[in-house]
Structure 1
Amino acid sequence: MLLSMKAIDKSFSGVRVLNAASLEVEPGEVMALVGQNGAGKSTMIKILTGAYSRDAGSVTFQGREVHFSSTADSQSAGIATIYQEINLAPNRTVAENIFLAREPRTAFGLVDRRKMRAEARAVLKRFNLDIDVERPLENFGAATRQMVAIARGVTQNAKLVIMDEATSSLDEREVAVLFETVRTLKRDGVATIFISHRLDELYAICDRVTVMRDGRTVAVSAMKDIKKLELVRTMLGKELTAFTAAQRNREEADGATLVEAKNLSAGVRVRDVSLAIGKGEIAGLAGLLGSGRTETARLIYAADRRDGGTLSVGGRQTAYAQPADAIADGIGFVSEDRKVEGIVPEMSVRENLTLAILPRLQKSGIVDRARQQEIVERYIKALGVKCASPEQPIRELSGGNQQKVLLARWLCMNPRLLIVDEPTRGIDVGAKAEILKLLRGLADEGLSVLMISSELEELIAAADHVTVLSDGRSVARIPAAELSEERLMVAMAHQDGEAA
Structure 2
Amino acid sequence: MDTQHPLVAATGIVKRFGPTVALADGNLTVHAGETHALVGRNGAGKSTMVGVLTGLLKPDAGEVRFAGVRAPALGDRAAWRERVACVYQYPSVVKELTVAENLFLHRQPRGRFGLISPSRQRRQAADLLDAWSVAVSPDLPAAELSVEQRQLVEIASALSLGARFVILDEPTAQLEGRAITRLFDKLRALQDAGVTFLFISHHLPEIYEICQRVTVFRDARHIVTDTVANLDRDKLVAAMIGEARGLVQVGADRPAVPDTAEPVLELAGVTVPGHVSDVDLTVRRGEIVGVAGSAVSGKRQLAEALAGLRGRAGAVFVAGRRVRPGTVRAALDGGIGYLPGDRNIDGFVGGLSVAENATMTIAKKLGPAGMVLPGKRDAAARTMIADLDIHTSGPDQPVGELSGGNAQKVVMARALAGDPEVIVLVQPTAGVDVRSKESLLGAVDEKTREQRGALLISDELDDLRVCDRVVVMLGGRIVAEHARGWDETQLVAEIEGINEHRA
The TM-score range, normalised by the shorter chain, is 0.5 to 0.7
**1:12 aligned to 2:24?**
no
Contact 1:470 1:495 in 2 (8 A): no
Shift of the alpha carbon at 1:343? 6.1
* SS of residue matched to 1:152: helix
* Aligned counterparts, 1:223-302, within 5 A: 223-240=228-245, 256=262, 258=264, 302=307
Q: Hey, what does 1:355 align to over in structure 2?
A: 363
Q: Hey, what does 2:47 align to over in structure 1?
A: 42
* Aligned counterparts, 1:79-94, within 5 A: 79-94=84-99
* SS of residue matched to 1:424: coil
Shift of the alpha carbon at 1:49? 1.0
Shift of the alpha carbon at 1:46? 1.1
* SS of residue matched to 2:208: helix
Specify whether residues 228 and 313 from structure 1 end up closer, same or farther in structure 2 by C-alpha distance, changes over 3 A only.
farther
Shift of the alpha carbon at 1:191? 0.6
Give the one of 390, 393, 400 matched to 2:382: 400
TM-score normalised over the length of structure 2: 0.62
Contact 2:35 2:212 in 1 (8 A): yes
Q: Hey, what does 1:123 align to over in structure 2?
A: 128
* SS of residue matched to 1:181: helix
Once residues 144 and 446 of structure 1 are traced to their aligned partners in structure 2, the CA distance between those partners, rounded to angstroms, is 38
Q: Hey, what does 1:66 align to over in structure 2?
A: 71
- Please, which runs of 5 or more residues in structure 1 have no aligned partner? 267-274, 286-294, 373-389, 405-421, 429-438, 480-490
Give the one of 459, 469, 473 matched to 1:471: 459
**1:425 aligned to 2:390?**
yes
Contact 1:282 1:448 in 2 (8 A): no
Give the total of aligned pairs: 415
Specify whether residues 243 and 214 from structure 1 end up closer, same or farther in structure 2 by C-alpha distance, changes over 3 A only.
closer
Once residues 325 and 100 of structure 2 are traced to their aligned partners in structure 1, the CA distance between those partners, rounded to angstroms, is 44
* Aligned counterparts, 1:26-425, within 5 A: 26-66=31-71, 68-70=73-75, 72-73=77-78, 75-105=80-110, 109-111=114-116, 115-240=120-245, 256=262, 258=264, 302=307, 313-314=318-319, 321-331=326-336, 355-357=363-365, 392=375, 400=382, 403=385, 423-425=388-390
Cα displacement string for residues 3-34 of structure 1 (whole angstroms, at most 9, x for unaligned residues) = 11122222222011222022211111111222
Contact 1:282 1:449 in 2 (8 A): no
Specify whether residues 32 and 325 from structure 1 end up closer, same or farther in structure 2 by C-alpha distance, changes over 3 A only.
same
Q: Percent identity?
A: 27
Shift of the alpha carbon at 1:318? 6.0
Cα displacement string for residues 214-251 of structure 1 (whole angstroms, at most 9, x for unaligned residues) = 3223332323333344434443444328999xxx9x97
Contact 1:93 1:135 in 2 (8 A): yes
* SS of residue matched to 2:390: coil
Once residues 21 and 306 of structure 1 are traced to their aligned partners in structure 2, the CA distance between those partners, rounded to angstroms, is 49
Once residues 209 and 168 of structure 1 are traced to their aligned partners in structure 2, the CA distance between those partners, rounded to angstroms, is 19
Larger radius of gyration: 1
Q: State the AA in 2 paired with 1:471.
A: D
* SS of residue matched to 2:464: strand
Q: State the AA in 2 paired with 1:99.
A: F
Q: State the AA in 2 paired with 1:35.
A: G
- Please, which runs of 5 or more residues in structure 2 have no aligned partner? 1-5, 273-280, 291-299, 394-412, 430-435, 469-484, 493-503
Specify whether residues 340 and 276 from structure 1 end up closer, same or farther in structure 2 by C-alpha distance, changes over 3 A only.
farther
Shift of the alpha carbon at 1:67? 5.1
Once residues 22 and 58 of structure 2 are traced to their aligned partners in structure 1, the CA distance between those partners, rounded to angstroms, is 13
Contact 2:323 2:331 in 1 (8 A): no
Contact 1:259 1:278 in 2 (8 A): yes
Specify whether residues 316 and 68 from structure 1 end up closer, same or farther in structure 2 by C-alpha distance, changes over 3 A only.
farther
Contact 2:83 2:165 in 1 (8 A): yes
Q: State the AA in 2 paired with 1:425.
A: I
Specify whether residues 477 and 341 from structure 1 end up closer, same or farther in structure 2 by C-alpha distance, changes over 3 A only.
farther
Specify whether residues 251 and 117 from structure 1 end up closer, same or farther in structure 2 by C-alpha distance, changes over 3 A only.
closer
TM-score normalised over the length of structure 1: 0.62
Shift of the alpha carbon at 1:394? 5.6
Shift of the alpha carbon at 1:206? 1.9
Shift of the alpha carbon at 1:297? 13
Once residues 297 and 6 of structure 1 are traced to their aligned partners in structure 2, the CA distance between those partners, rounded to angstroms, is 48
* SS of residue matched to 1:168: coil
Contact 1:344 1:352 in 2 (8 A): no
Contact 2:22 2:45 in 1 (8 A): yes
